[in-house]
Chains A and B, each alone.
Chain A
Amino acid sequence: MEFEISSHTKTVIKNLLIPEGKIRVFTSGIAFNAEPLVPYAKTRLPSKLKNNPSILSFLSYLFHLKPLMSFATLSNRLVSEIRQSLRNIEQKYGRQDLLANILSSFTLEQTTNLALAGIGISFSPNNECCWAIKEMESFIMEVYHPDEGTIGKWKFPPCTLGIPLFNPTELEFIVYVFDPMDYLHPFMVEAGAICMGSFSGSSSLQQIARLPDLCSKLIQLFSYAEQILVSGYRLEGEIEPAIGIFDPIFDKYRIFIK
């Protein structure tokens, strides 16, 4: 589904970043309006001007810099504008400001951290809920026998993992395969949830639950889901997989047989 940002919001954001007929310069955490003074290409720039912090030389022109607002103020105005726009979108689609609340609960550092970990936040109109999502590349699962070593390898297709977010502070510690909904894997149960086996009720889960912020919880929870899907299969153990890896339905993924 595509959301349309109103033309008013686009104009406000454009004017904040690139005002009509002016050049905006961001330096030392301040946004400046740069007004062209004179071309200087054929003359040497006097050192007095060179060292003047309100003078900028760029593209053979001298510009006079007029401080407007700090970068933090500018960011806040942009976030506020985008948040208002998201509210309008959510009201239109029947869900009050959940996505806006979740997105605005992250600091700039946390947003960067999530992006670095490949995690995005998405609104699903189908179940009126937000999802933290992470793409998982195709991966090879290797199964070992205690005496014989590697006895088989299966190459699983890519998928998108998802964690539902019903509000900005609470998290259910369940990871789903968000897409495709009928993903085939030994640890998949009905409704696309991943059987997290020994992780459920473990000290690792308790440790994640104690983490102070949603961002760290999401990163850790996705990491454990990936670990379990890729390298969490054991031939013998107290925990049985939902479907054994030697079931014929996995034959199409098998790339190595001993």
Chain B
Amino acid sequence: MVSETILSRSVLGIRYPLSRDPIFVEVTDPSKTIENILIETVTELEKAGKTHEAFQLQQTLADHFPFVKGQQYSKTHQIGVLPFQEKILEGETVYYTEVNFLKEHVGG
């Protein structure tokens, strides 16, 4: 089920192993999949001349999986199912969640 809170201003933070800082993406359509958002982000990074970052993110997509607070999601999950949390930013309410792209590991 797609969360209703995403109808307000929602921001997705994307972290991947080689990134120093997260990439912030404003989410306007909660029905888009995580993969769609990432492909669009790669395109936007390329347009902005950040080809190195675009390449790194594209490489990450190949063998990393999205995790939110340790919980694994599929790349085909819609953005709206992610657990967005309310944050107040300069007086404005923003719904934020952070997706970490990690390789899958087993404990023990």
Query: Among B15, B69, B100, B105, which residue has its beta carbon within 8 angstroms of that of A232?
Result: B105
Report Cα–Cα, A186/B15, bound state, in Å. 27
Q: Which one, A42-50, A53-61, A145-153, A189-197, is touching chain B?
A: A189-197
Q: Report the minimum CB–CB distance from B50 to chain A (whole Å).
A: 17
Task: Give every chain A residue within 8 A of B70 (Cβ-Cβ).
Answer: 136, 139, 223, 226-231
Number of residues of chain A lying within 8 A (CB) of chain B: 42
- Interface pair A241/B71, CB less than 8 Å apart: no
CB atoms of B107 and A204 under 8 A apart: no
A216 within 8 A of B: yes
In contact, A116 and B107 (Cβ under 8 angstroms)? no
Complex CA distance for A233 and B71, rounded to whole angstroms: 12
Chain A residues whose C-beta falls within 8 Å of the C-beta of B92 in the assembled complex:
none
Chain A CB within 8 A of B67 CB:
yes
**Given A139-B71, A230-B69, is A198 in contact with B21 using a C-beta cutoff of 8 Å?**
no
A241 touches B107 (CB 8 A): yes
Known: A187-B108, A232-B107. A223 touches B100 (CB 8 A): yes
Q: Give the residue name and chain of the A residue nearest to B102 (CB).
A: A227
On chain A, the residues within 8 Å of B98 by CB distance are 116-117
Task: Let me know if A223 and B107 touch, CB within 8 A.
Answer: no
Question: In chain B between 45 and 93, which residues have their CB closer than 8 angstroms to a CB of chain A?
Answer: 67, 69-72
Contact with A along B9-26 (1 / 0, CB 8 A): 000010101101110000
Question: CB distance B106 to A198 under 8 Å?
Answer: yes
Beta-carbon nearest neighbor of A185 in chain B: B107
A237 within 8 A of B: yes
What is the size category of the interface that chain B forms with chain A?
20 to 34
- With an 8 A cutoff between CB atoms, is A234 at the interface? yes
A240 touches B105 (CB 8 A): no
Residues of A within 8 A of B102 (CB): 204, 223-224, 227
Most buried by A among B22, B106, B108: B108
Q: A208-B17, A231-B72 are in contact. Are A226 and B67 (CB under 8 A)?
A: yes
Across the interface, do B13 and A239 meet the contact criterion of CB distance under 8 Å? Answer: no
Does the CB pair B106–A223 fall under 8 Å? no
A239 & B106 in contact (Cβ 8 Å cutoff): yes
A113 contacts the other chain (CB 8 A): yes
Contact yes or no, B107 A220, CB < 8 A: no
For residue B108, which residues in chain A have a CB less than 8 angstroms away from its CB? Answer: 186-187, 195, 197, 232, 237, 239-242
CB distance from A195 to the nearest CB of B (A): 5
Q: A204-B102, A227-B72, A229-B70 are in contact. Are A197 and B107 (CB under 8 A)?
A: yes
Contacts of B67 in A (CB 8 A): 223, 226-227, 231
Give 18 A-B contacts (CB < 8 Å), ordered by A residue: A195-B107, A196-B105, A197-B105, A198-B105, A199-B107, A202-B105, A204-B17, A204-B102, A204-B105, A207-B17, A223-B67, A223-B102, A226-B70, A230-B71, A231-B104, A239-B106, A241-B108, A242-B108
| Other contacts beyond A227-B70, A237-B108, A242-B108: 18, CB < 8 A | A109-B21, A113-B20, A113-B22, A136-B70, A187-B108, A195-B107, A195-B108, A197-B108, A198-B106, A203-B103, A204-B103, A207-B18, A208-B17, A223-B67, A223-B102, A227-B104, A230-B69, A231-B72
Interface residues of A (CB under 8 A from B): 109, 113, 116-117, 136-137, 139, 186-187, 194-199, 202-204, 207-208, 211, 213, 215-216, 219-220, 223-224, 226-234, 237, 239-242
